[in-house]
Structure 1
Amino acid sequence: MSPGKVKIINRVLADLLAFLKDQPQGKYLEELDDKSLPQVSDALLVMVQFKTALSSFASRHRRSDVYGSSAYWVTEEHLQAEAEEYSEDEDEDYSDEADT
């Protein structure tokens, strides 16, 4: 591989490492060695490791709706909104029971 290609690939890998490094598979991920200029097969192996880590990340942080027709990312904001909605539902259930 040429130094330019390694540099381009490493820019993408560096961005991915920023959030994958703290994930379970993150300890196996690293950028390509730009000093020894890897073979294409080495680069493919590294990219497969990143793809696997990304798939694992998505399976942990994406959920489907009840019907499976759409998916969404589970974020802090989403979890907070769900907690607030759950709290409101419990308050409504409690007030319904108090009325009877």
Structure 2
Amino acid sequence: MSYNNKTNLPTKEFVSKFEMFAPMLDSALLEMREFSKKKQDGILNPLKVRVLNRLLVDIKDLLSSDHSITYLDLLDDELLPQNSDAVLILGQFKAAMEQFKAKYYGYDNGIYRWRTVERP
């Protein structure tokens, strides 16, 4: 993650990546919830695990300096997870991202905006 050591704020580059990953995670979580409604104990295929983990790895890298990182696990690509397991893991990632955004995004002088290194 790109932080300024003095202010501990994210950079504009970080925010750009964050805003790219957030809707992708939302979409993945929505799809997995639908699969889970149909069959909770259904097993993910290797392609789904690989696609989801690619996104989760990038999000983990992005949030690497945040305390929530300790609780973010990837999907097991050897013991393929059930749909409900994937929903749980994706939900934890979503919560971590929402928590991070709540720290650095808010109402300021009549507008909602990110507080960044460039615009504290």
Fold conserved (TM > 0.5)? yes
Look up the equivalent residue of 2:94 and give its one-letter code.
Answer: K
Does 1:25 pair with 2:68?
yes
TM-score (norm 1): 0.72
Percent identity (aligned) = 38
TM-score (norm 2): 0.61
- Per-residue deviation, 1:40: 0.5
Provide structure 2 residue ranges, at least 5 long, that are not aligned to the other structure. Answer: 1-43
Greater share of helix: 1
Aligned residues: 77
Partner of 1:8: 51
- Per-residue deviation, 1:65: 2.4
Moved over 6 A (4+): none
Greater relative contact order structure (CA < 8 Å, 6+ sep): 2
Does 1:73 pair with 2:117?
no
Look up the equivalent residue of 1:14 and give its one-letter code.
Answer: V
Tell me, in whole angstroms, the C-alpha distance in 2 between the residues paired with 1:33 and 1:11. 12
Look up the equivalent residue of 1:71 and give its one-letter code.
Answer: Y
Provide structure 1 residue ranges, at least 5 long, that are not aligned to the other structure. Answer: 80-100
